[in-house]
Structure 1
């Protein structure tokens, strides 16, 4: 046990455990945001798509600035500022009850995520040896899915005991508590960030990142994968609610199934993935993604939906850790956060996906996930071209 704990630096383990804590909080609320908007605010599918999509839009462009500022002013400042603003956003979700205000809060949620994710990932990279970083991304992904098992169940349970807004309040409190812990941790450990010998301004950073063809190809491929994956918490809960009785309960089970399959299969699949190329892992994952989407489109009962989620989740396990690992691998040591932040451009797929998916759900409900499956499979064209550039 001591050997396993010493595999990563204590600060890395602290952030990984903090990831579980905060993701439990966010999984109590965000996966149910579409249903909350539909039931409590009577929002239309397009309104729901815009509300969810704007978070991805701000995460997309905010990631560029967040990553740049993290490399420029340091991890500590960005992490601490963001976590407390993020806490206030969740309190706002509980207090306000109009679609326009929810759109604003959703945008702030995406902006906070786009600053916090690259900065914490870059901080963990600073404290992790290069040969251990691929494993780090897999462990982090597992940590997220530990929270994915617990969070949705807590969200449904808390909502059943009190008001639907209560999970948002509890989430805000948990983020504030984690912020206090981070203040202590980041003051205790000396930062190891490698700074550039020459300071780049924002325009120069855009020029350097924009000239990296491989990075742009990886972003393009990630955009198409995110476009399809965004249906998971936008159109899928609506489709489930329309297709079967007790749709909310089934969607909760699907969330738990997703996270449980990750916990069960993450270790054996990650061990296998480390023996093959990153591209092969992405190809396998994308094919499972596409098959899962097609099965969702055909599902009409609980077992069918659950089986489709199992297939969909296997795609996640193969693909998602590799997407960030490939970005980290090509990033210069002095621009880790900048590249991870720039990779947030792939979240434009997460903005387009809910809006496009909401439109398809209204006009072509029988074909929605067939279209998404084709788009996800087309991402492999960009990943293969990126590999060709590398060789």
Structure 2
């Protein structure tokens, strides 16, 4: 087969709508990477917020994402992907414009809450839509490609964010992000009207009570959520306490943190394929053990770092843990979900964001009182997640 045939085969591997959403993921995530990772620094520098208030502002996004995921997934399976996706993307656009227009901590807390709510509705709906248009044997690769798309955005976004804010004003990246989300929403209107939806609905309409019953009785799902909570608690330090820690530890901390964000995404792009190939040859538990050990080692090194090379090296170790763990977490949820409840399970899995809500607040408190030991504590909590995953995998065998 010639090169053109090979390229054509790759382009037709997924449905055109799936490719459109994947490419849209790159642009919208790049836009959000221009702003959200720097939100803690924006609050610290422009609004002079305390570490605790920064933690609360970032944490409420995770809190609303947690419970919003339950209702968002349920509504997506009940009323359809299209309505949820289109309504959410335009509200989301307004949230970023709000970040640019207001300078009040209470308003930022409200906007951050809406940001988490929008993400919790949009993510299960868009993932379920892609699953609808993807054959079962291709879905694991779909999660991998989506993860790659997010990290391509992670390379582009932080650099653009620093560049744009230096050229204009610190609020300009928020305006650009809001504009990109609105544009993506308009494109989605045409795309979703063009393609006939393939959602597989349950024969009997599920009630909200039945949805909660599903979450409460599926032991494997609950164990996976519990393990995910601890991982999210630790990972939430990445864009809450870590930028503050770097800024307090190193001169030109903002520039270093942008380099760390790019390093994270670049390492994912470089190592994801070989690590994924290796991961397929070992058990899921061993894969998670390796991931958590790298995560913990990365946090310990962050706590010990005193210069740019040390921080960058710690980020490389941290990112290898991310590559091992994150695609596995998503694939395990999809695998145990019934065909008629994909969005419900993906939404229910957002309960792991309770860890993301607690993490910034807990991390902010640690940063105030135990700055020298903060990431040693976080490393221990990340390793503790393996207890729950081991039990979940034992029930699956």
The verdict on a shared fold, with TM-score over 0.5 as the criterion, is: yes
**For each residue in 1:117-173, what CA deviation from the matched residue of structure 2 results, as whole angstroms up to 9, or x when unmatched?**
000011111111111111111111110000000000000000011010000000000
1:94 paired with 2:94, answer no
Pick from 119, 128, 134 the counterpart of residue 128 of structure 1: 134
1:233 matched residue in structure 2: 239
Q: Which residue of 2 aligns with 1:373?
A: 379
Give the 5 Å matches for 1:56-135: 56-135=62-141
Contact 1:93 1:105 in 2 (8 A): yes
Match of 2:3 in 1: none
Partner SS state of residue 200, structure 2: coil
The 8 Å contact of residues 278 and 326 in structure 1, kept in 2 or not, is answered as: no
Per-residue CA deviations over 1:348-370 (Å, capped at 9, x if unaligned) read: 11000000000000000111101
CA shift for structure 1 position 10: 1.0
Partner SS, residue 372 of structure 2 = coil
Match of 1:196 among 197, 202, 211: 202
**2:166 alignment counterpart:** 160
- Alpha carbons 1:54, 1:103 under 8 Å: kept: yes
Q: What's the offset of the Cα at 1:6? A: 1.4
Distance 1:135 1:190, change over 3 A: same
1:339 corresponds to which residue? 345
Tell me how large the CA RMSD over aligned residues is.
Answer: 0.7
Residue 139 of structure 1 pairs with residue 145 of structure 2: yes
2:226 alignment partner in structure 1: 220
Which residue among 148, 154, 169 is the counterpart of 2:175?
Answer: 169
1:244 and 2:217 correspond: no
Alignment partner of 1:151 is 2:157: yes
Per the alignment, residue 4 of structure 2 pairs with: none
Q: Secondary structure at the match of 1:358?
A: helix
Pick from 42, 45, 50: which aligns with 2:51?
45
Give the alignment's TM-score, normalised by structure 2. Answer: 0.98
Return closer, same or farther for 1:129/1:280 CA change in 2, 3 Å cut-off: farther
Does residue 1:320 correspond to 2:296, yes or no?
A: no
Runs of 4+ in 1 over 4 A off after TM superposition: none
Per the alignment, residue 350 of structure 1 pairs with 356
TM superposition shift of 1:278: 2.6
CA distance in 2 between counterparts of 1:313 and 1:181 reads 33
**Is the contact made by 1:64 and 1:341 (CA closer than 8 Å) also made in structure 2?**
yes
Residue in structure 1 matched with residue 278 of structure 2 by the alignment: 272
Which runs of 5 or more residues in structure 1 are unaligned?
none
CA distance in 2, matches of 1:176, 1:276: 43
Question: How many residues get paired?
Answer: 391
Q: 1:87-122: per-residue Cα shift (whole Å, max 9, x none)?
A: 000000000001000000000000000000000011
Structure 1 residue aligned with 2:211: 205
Match of 2:296 in 1: 290
Aligned counterparts of 2:70 and 2:152: Cα–Cα separation in 1: 28
1:35 Cα deviation after fit: 0.2
